[in-house]
């Protein structure tokens, strides 16, 4: 697989919308490592709250729900990665459906601004939440293929916003010749992610709970649901590789970007317990937000079109994630964002 990107010259401007977030911060860092000299990172949060901070980048604090902010963001850009959204784990998206839907303004205005600015390529980060809920009700269901997003019945709020935004990208390509690429992310995790506060996803939440139990000398952990709901989790390095390869490709349809290593939440906890060297009793909170019963990524299409698929084992990615969260929780004085030098 190629390691290049279709951004033209390394002196062309590349924009990362949502660059102060978890995936966006890592993407900015990867662009710099690849030698891109002009990167603009834009996020709603104040700079001190960005997950990673790179001083040699054009860092802008702006609300991308606003069209004027999107026009300023896209001005002079050759390529745009739109990762900006109001989102979090199931504990957030199941209780903030309207807020998640409002993110449709971001992609709508970013597409308009990108078209006006003559952007060459536009990437949109979608989600596995676009898939029909009735296809994810039991473990007997096959891995989700790209065509399983229709007939449409995505998860309320967040899933509908993502599916609508995918269609916006498609029609901007058809009507205005703006090259758009769409990846459906499946549960991305890794260091420099949210691990507390209500927006964290399952891998980080489990790591935090195990570390807290170890610190407190507790022998019990709370699990949302019965622990038998299944998911696949993609480590951040695979996410970055796949994102940039899809951006550079000729793939004009939304495509899965996720690991096919399926585990139950109980098995996820088993792995973290082995890393921590601890065994805990499990208390199941059956009325907690838990999302669909079952979900896994069918990687047939990405293997066919890119000759690649995410391959970092969950055990290896969780080891790095656990160590990073452990350091944060063990030393509150640690600066949680990374500065690129």
Q: Could you read off the pLDDT tens digit of each residue along the chain, which spans 341 residues? A: 433 445 568 999 999 999 999 999 999 999 999 999 999 999 999 999 999 989 999 999 999 999 999 999 999 999 999 999 876 555 665 667 788 789 899 999 999 999 999 999 999 999 998 998 767 666 556 788 999 998 887 777 888 999 999 999 999 999 999 999 999 999 999 999 989 877 788 899 999 999 999 999 999 999 988 988 888 999 999 999 999 999 999 999 999 999 999 999 999 999 999 999 999 999 998 887 666 677 889 999 999 999 999 999 999 999 999 999 999 998 866 545 444 43
Quickly count: other Cβ atoms within 10 Å of residue 258's Cβ. Answer: 30
The pLDDT, as a whole number, for residue 265 is 93
Catalytic positions:
158
Secondary structure class of 256 (helix, strand, coil): strand
Contact indicator for 129, 158 with CB cutoff of 8 Å: yes
**Strand-pair partners of 263:** 231
At the top level of CATH, the class of 13-186+235-258+297-311 is alpha beta
Q: Cα separations (Å) of 164 from 67, 102, 124, 282? A: 18, 12, 12, 39
The pLDDT, as a whole number, for residue 4 is 42
Instruction: Give Cβ neighbours of residue 192 (< 8 Å, ≥ 6 apart).
Output: 22, 25, 26, 51, 52, 324, 336, 337, 338
Beta strands in the chain (DSSP E): 13-17, 39-43, 52-53, 58-61, 77-82, 121-127, 179-185, 188-189, 220-224, 230-232, 234-235, 255-257, 262-264, 281-285, 338-339
Query: How many Å apart are CA 228 and CA 123, to the nearest integer?
Result: 34
């Amino acid at each position: 697989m190629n390691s290049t990107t279709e951004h033209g010259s390394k002196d062309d401007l590349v924009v990362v919308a949502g660059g102060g977030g978890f995936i966006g911060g890592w993407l900015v860092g990867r662009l710099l490592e690849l030698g891109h000299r002009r990167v603009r990172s834009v996020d709603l949060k104040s700079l001190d709250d960005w997950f990673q901070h790179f001083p040699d980048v054009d860092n802008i604090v702006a609300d991308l729900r606003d069209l004027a902010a999107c026009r300023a963001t896209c001005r002079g850009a050759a390529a745009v990665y739109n990762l900006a959204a109001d989102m979090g784990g199931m504990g957030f998206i199941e209780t903030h459906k309207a807020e998640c839907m409002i993110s449709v303004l971001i992609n709508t205005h970013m597409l308009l601004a990108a078209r006006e600015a003559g952007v060459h390529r536009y990437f949109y980060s979608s989600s596995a939440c676009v898939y029909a809920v009735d296809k994810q009700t039991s473990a007997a269901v096959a891995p989700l293929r790209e065509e399983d997003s229709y007939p449409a019945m995505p998860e309320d709020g967040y899933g509908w916003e993502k599916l609508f935004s995918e269609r916006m990208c498609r029609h901007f390509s058809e009507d205005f010749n703006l090259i758009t690429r769409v990846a459906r992310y499946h549960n991305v995790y890794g260091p420099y992610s949210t691990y507390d506060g209500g927006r964290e996803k399952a891998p980080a939440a489990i790591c935090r709970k195990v570390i807290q139990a170890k610190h407190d000398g507790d022998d019990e952990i709370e699990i949302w649901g019965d622990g038998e709901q299944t998911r696949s989790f993609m480590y951040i390095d695979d996410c970055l590789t796949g994102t940039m390869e899809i951006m550079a490709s000729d793939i004009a349809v939304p495509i899965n970007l996720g690991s096919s290593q399926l585990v139950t939440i109980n098995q996820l906890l088993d792995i973290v317990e082995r890393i921590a060297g601890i065994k805990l009793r499990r208390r199941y909170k059956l009325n907690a937000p838990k999302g669909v019963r079952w979900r896994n990524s069918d990687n047939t299409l990405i293997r066919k079109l890119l000759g690649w698929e995410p391959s970092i084992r969950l055990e290896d990615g969780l080891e790095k994630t656990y160590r990073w969260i452990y350091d944060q929780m063990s030393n509150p004085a640690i600066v949680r964002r990374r500065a690129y030098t």
